[in-house]
């Protein structure tokens, strides 16, 4: 009996030694994917063992080229497609990496609409594919305990069944983890490589992180506004505890202390678009109204412009404006608004590279960190004199 015949026979209950009792040996359970050929079918058709098939197709083992090409031919003829699930189970590698934003917890899944996230995710997807991985965007996992213990059948949150327990991830990218993010802790503890976009809190043992130097960026913007003649600079900031918000706000307060200005700021839940407009209004309605404002979030430029209009303030004559945004449309508002770009594309690329390095290599004991530059696009809204409109001129960071 040749190997081929053996494998052929393996499909035929009658020709095989019976199991201990009179159990029925025909396929049950998950039930074979009816039409498709499996590795055994290929082996049988090619007259070799399944090992040889596996080796031939994966370029492993020490097979003569004749065998290899023969097997490949047969596989192709049968339309054989290896089962990714089986390979994943066997090797422990799925080739899938997750991307998630935990900051807003149970909030509905709207963050993909933010230009920053959209661009970051786009770059991350491309980079992952270029390295042979696919990227999966996932909502923040369910809050309590072992997320989605109940698997697909269960439902665990406003956004439907918990997907986390249904996808095998080789690693995860977490965007803007909060200070001591329980989700990140849980992920890391379960042995998953995690890389964060946004410097994580001290206690978060991520494998690596990427971030902008938000401190320097804020300093630079405030200096820029001061140079343009601002006497009292206000800040529109958020209530959440992610790095970006924390560091930027701290940098603002620090700058104020240094130059001897009283801080003038309003905080609002950044994920709520309406709250932004209200906060912008509040800021300009204050008795100690600032004559320049930096808004930490993308829509702040529009909101502040609208609020300024309501209060009869001209931009930039009465109010200087800068906001952090990835939207090109601020180049064409009236007046065009100066923005700080965090370069999310680069961040997405870098964060994926680091994650895959962590997955494939042995990760170093100390987390790898990488600081990415920002870009200040100076436009009309932040220049009182009709000065230059240069893009990110090389400039030393403000002296400390």
Partner DNA sequence: TTGAAAGCGCTAACAC
Partner DNA sequence: GTGTTAGCGCTTTCAA
The reply to whether omega before 316 is within 30° of 0 (cis) is yes
- The position carrying tokens 């197709």 is 57
Instruction: Pick the closer one to a copy of itself by CB: 91 or 362.
Output: 91
Residue 278's binding partner among DNA, a copy of itself, none (Cβ under 5 to 8 angstroms by kind) is none
Site for a copy of itself in 49-68 (CB under 8 A): 57-60
CB 340 within 8 A of CB 221: yes
Give dist(CA 88, CA 294) in Å, integer: 48
Instruction: Pick the closer one to DNA by CB: 60 or 143.
Output: 60
Which stretch, 75-83, 186-194, 323-331, 364-372, contacts DNA (CB under 7 A)? 75-83
Q: In residues, how long is the chain? A: 400
Give dist(CA 346, CA 343) in Å, integer: 6
Of positions 12, 15, 18, 89, contacts DNA by CB under 7 A = 89
Check binding of 167 to a copy of itself (CB under 8 A): yes
CB 320 within 8 A of CB 301: no
Strand pairing report for 171-175 and 134-138 = unpaired
Residue 168's binding partner among DNA, a copy of itself, none (Cβ under 5 to 8 angstroms by kind) is a copy of itself
Give dist(CA 317, CA 292) in Å, integer: 10
Instruction: Pick the closer one to a copy of itself by CB: 185 or 369.
Output: 185
Token pair for 43: 């082996």
Of positions 15, 129, 285, 391, contacts a copy of itself by CB under 8 A = 129
Check binding of 166 to a copy of itself (CB under 8 A): yes
Residue 135's binding partner among a copy of itself, DNA, none (Cβ under 5 to 8 angstroms by kind) is a copy of itself
Check binding of 74 to a copy of itself (CB under 8 A): no
Number of residues that bind DNA (CB under 7 A): 47
Least distance to DNA, CB of residue 71, Å: 9
40: Cβ–Cβ under 8 A, 6 or more apart, which residues?
Answer: 7, 10, 11, 50
Check binding of 29 to a copy of itself (CB under 8 A): yes
What end-to-end distance do the CA atoms of the chain give, in Å? 83
DSSP letters, 86-115, are HHHHHHS--SEEEEEE-TTTTS-S-GGGSH
Site for DNA in 90-109 (CB under 7 A): 90-91
Least distance to a copy of itself, CB of residue 341, Å: 16
Which stretch, 17-25, 286-294, 305-313, 355-363, contacts DNA (CB under 7 A)? 17-25
Nearest in space to 294 (alpha carbons), one of 314, 311, 319, 312: 319
CB 299 within 8 A of CB 241: no
Instruction: Pick the closer one to DNA by CB: 190 or 332.
Output: 190
Of positions 5, 76, 106, 227, contacts a copy of itself by CB under 8 A = 76
**Three-class SS state of 265:** strand
Instruction: Pick the closer one to DNA by CB: 36 or 310.
Output: 36
Check binding of 190 to DNA (CB under 7 A): no
CB 54 within 8 A of CB 9: no
Least distance to a copy of itself, CB of residue 290, Å: 27
Check binding of 304 to DNA (CB under 7 A): no
Q: Which residues of 363-377 are buried (b: 16+ CB within 10 A; e: fewer)?
A: beeebeeeebebebb
As a whole number of angstroms, the longest Cα–Cα distance in the chain is: 95
Which stretch, 2-10, 188-196, 347-355, 366-374, contacts a copy of itself (CB under 8 A)? 188-196
Check binding of 89 to a copy of itself (CB under 8 A): yes
- The position carrying tokens 């808004």 is 295
DSSP H helix total and E strand total for the chain: 12, 12
Of positions 52, 125, 212, 382, contacts a copy of itself by CB under 8 A = 125
Instruction: Pick the closer one to a copy of itself by CB: 98 or 198.
Output: 98
Check binding of 273 to DNA (CB under 7 A): no
Q: List residues near DNA by CB under 7 A.
A: 3, 6-7, 19-21, 23-33, 38-40, 47-52, 54-55, 57-58, 60-64, 67, 80-83, 85-87, 89-91, 151
């Amino acid at each position: 009996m040749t190997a081929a015949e053996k494998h052929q026979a393996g499909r035929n209950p009658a020709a095989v030694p019976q199991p201990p009792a009179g159990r029925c040996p025909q396929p049950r359970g998950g039930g074979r994917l009816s039409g498709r050929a499996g590795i055994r079918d290929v082996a049988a058709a090619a007259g070799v063992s399944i090992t040889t098939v596996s080796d031939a197709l994966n370029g492993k083992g020490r097979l003569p080229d004749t065998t290899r090409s023969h097997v490949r031919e047969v596989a192709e003829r049968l339309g054989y497609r290896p089962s990714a699930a089986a390979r994943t189970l066997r090797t422990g590698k799925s080739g899938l990496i997750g991307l998630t934003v935990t900051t807003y917890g149970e909030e509905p899944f709207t963050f993909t609409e933010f230009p920053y996230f959209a661009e970051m995710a786009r770059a991350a997807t491309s980079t992952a594919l270029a390295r042979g991985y696919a990227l999966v965007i996932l909502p923040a996992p369910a809050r309590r305990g072992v997320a989605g213990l109940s698997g697909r059948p269960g439902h665990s949150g406003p956004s439907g069944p918990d997907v986390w327990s249904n996808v095998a991830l080789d690693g995860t990218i977490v965007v803007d983890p909060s200070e001591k993010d329980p989700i990140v802790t849980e992920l890391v503890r379960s042995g998953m490589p995690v890389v964060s976009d946004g410097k994580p809190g001290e206690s978060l043992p991520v494998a690596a992180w990427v971030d902008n130097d938000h401190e320097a960026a804020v300093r630079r913007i405030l200096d820029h506004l001061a140079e343009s003649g601002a006497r009292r600079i206000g800040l529109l900031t958020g209530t959440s505890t992610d790095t970006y918000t924390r560091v930027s706000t701290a940098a603002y307060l620090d700058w104020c202390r240094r130059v001897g200005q009283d801080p003038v700021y309003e905080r609002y839940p950044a994920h709520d678009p309406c709250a932004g407009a209200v906060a912008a209004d509040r800021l300009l309605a204050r008795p100690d109204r600032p004559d320049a404002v930096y808004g930490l979030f993308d829509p702040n430029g529009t909101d502040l412009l609208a609020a300024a209009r309501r209060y009869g303030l001209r931009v930039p004559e009465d109010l200087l404006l800068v906001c952090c945004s990835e939207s090109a449309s601020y180049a064409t508002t009236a007046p065009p608004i100066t923005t700080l770009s965090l370069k999310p594309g680069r961040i997405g690329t870098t964060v994926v590279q680091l994650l895959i390095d962590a997955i494939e290599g042995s990760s170093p004991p100390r987390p790898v960190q990488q600081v990415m530059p920002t870009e200040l696009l100076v436009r009309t809204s932040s220049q009182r004199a009709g000065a230059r409109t240069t893009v990110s001129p090389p400039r030393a960071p403000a002296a400390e």
